[in-house]
Structure formats: structure tokens, C-alpha cells
Amino acid sequence: MENPKRCIASEKLCDTGFSYTLSLISGKYKMTILYTLMEFTVVRYNELQRYIKGISYKTLSLSLKELESDGLIIRKEYPQIPPKVEYSLSERGKSLMPILDGMCEWGYKNRI
């Protein structure tokens, strides 16, 4: 019978849930994008750029593509001219919000 207790010393960090979660939200702006979508529900590209000060067009575009491919956000494109695209959290993305909220609370309590 295998021991149900796990020891970090015997684990491969890359195989853990922690590592997987971190791979989805790592990057300078991904958590900020997710938090912005949680706060404002549905956001257009230019609005995201205004809300997230200092993010470049390329970085925002790449981050949104990665978050969409990971199933954390939904991109809805409307067939009109000029093009209209809206972003929102998927159910999977919404399930991350308690984790991000916990990080936010920890930051407030431990800010030096």
C-alpha cells in the first residue's frame, strides 16, 4: 500500500497541481487581466488596455490568446465593421477567482 502522505522532497514540482496552476497564470499581466474581467464582467480590447496601465499591444494580445487557449477566458467576436471583440471569464476562469482573491487578501494583510 502506498503512503498517502507526500513529501515535497520526493515530488517533481513540474508534476504538481501548483506548477500547472502557475503555468496558466504566470506572466506579468495574466492575473491582472483575469482580475479585470472578474471586476468588469465583459470587456473590450481597448478597455483592457486602458484598465491595465503600461501593457503593450503585443503583450496584451499574446496574453489574451494564451488565456483563451487555456480555457480561462472567452473571446466573442461580432461580425460587424469596425470589428467588435469582447472578452469575459469562462467558467474555468471564474473558478480561479477565489485563489486570486486569496492572494489579494494576503497582499493587503502583509504589505510592508
Q: Round to whole Å and give the CA distance between 51 and 47.
A: 6
34-58 tens-digit pLDDT? 999 999 999 999 999 999 988 999 9
Taking the C-alpha atoms of residue 106 and residue 110, their distance in angstroms, rounded to an integer, is: 6
Q: Among residues 13, 10, 18, 52, which one has the least CA distance to residue 32? A: 52
Amino acid at 47: E
Contact 67, 25 (CB under 8 A): no
pLDDT digits (tens, 9 = 90+) for 11-23: 666 677 878 888 8
Structural fold of domain 29-110:
Arc Repressor Mutant, subunit A (1.10.10)
What value does the mean pLDDT take over residues 87-102? 94
Position 66 pLDDT exceeds 90: yes
Q: Can you give the pLDDT at residue 3?
A: 53
Record the pTM: 0.81
Average pLDDT, the chain: 87
Split at pLDDT 50, 70, 90, the class of 6 is low
81 — pLDDT class (breaks 50, 70, 90):
confident
Domain boundaries, the chain: 29-110
